[in-house]
Amino acid sequence: MTAPQATAPKRRKRPAPKIRENLPAPQTEEGLLFTYTPYEAARWAPFSGRTIADMIARREIDYVFNGRDNYLTGAQIVALVERYTIKPFAKPSRAAA
């Protein structure tokens, strides 16, 4: 007779985040004031939805808190993209001798 085998506890799978369809682009007039979840904002931002959610948790970026959930407005997404955009290097002009 053998001893019973220990089993690992079952892990709960998180449901996939819900992403609404037909969202206005953040750069549009309507989109600047529209609120997006971090996973919806990832479509236009240089980060994944999980990374944006982590940045919000660490308070690294501006966000909107409605008492339960965290959101980003279109203006905040545009600012986030501009903040992490690398500008091309311009060579300095030659000094006159």
- For residue 74, being part of any structural domain is answered with yes
- β-sheet bridge partners, residue 71: 64
Q: Both ends of the chain: CA-CA distance in Å?
A: 95
- For residue 50, being part of any structural domain is answered with yes
Give residue 16's pLDDT: 81
- For residue 8, being part of any structural domain is answered with no
Give residue 27's pLDDT: 93
| Percentage of the chain exceeding pLDDT 70 | 96
- For residue 12, being part of any structural domain is answered with no
| Residues belonging to the chain | 97
- How many structural domains are present in the chain? 1
Tell me which residue range forms the domain holding 72.
35-83
- For residue 42, being part of any structural domain is answered with yes
Dist CA 5 CA 68 (whole Å) = 43
- For residue 75, being part of any structural domain is answered with yes
- For residue 72, being part of any structural domain is answered with yes
Contacts of residue 87, defined as CB under 8 A and 6 or more positions apart, other chains included, come to none
Give residue 22's pLDDT: 92
- The pTM score is 0.75
- For residue 67, being part of any structural domain is answered with yes
Residue pair 72/35 in contact (Cβ under 8 Å)? The answer is yes
Give residue 17's pLDDT: 84
35-69 pLDDT, tens digit each: 999 999 999 999 999 999 999 999 999 999 999 99
Average pLDDT of the chain, as a whole number: 89
- CB-hemisphere CA count at 13 Å for 43? 16
DSSP 59: T
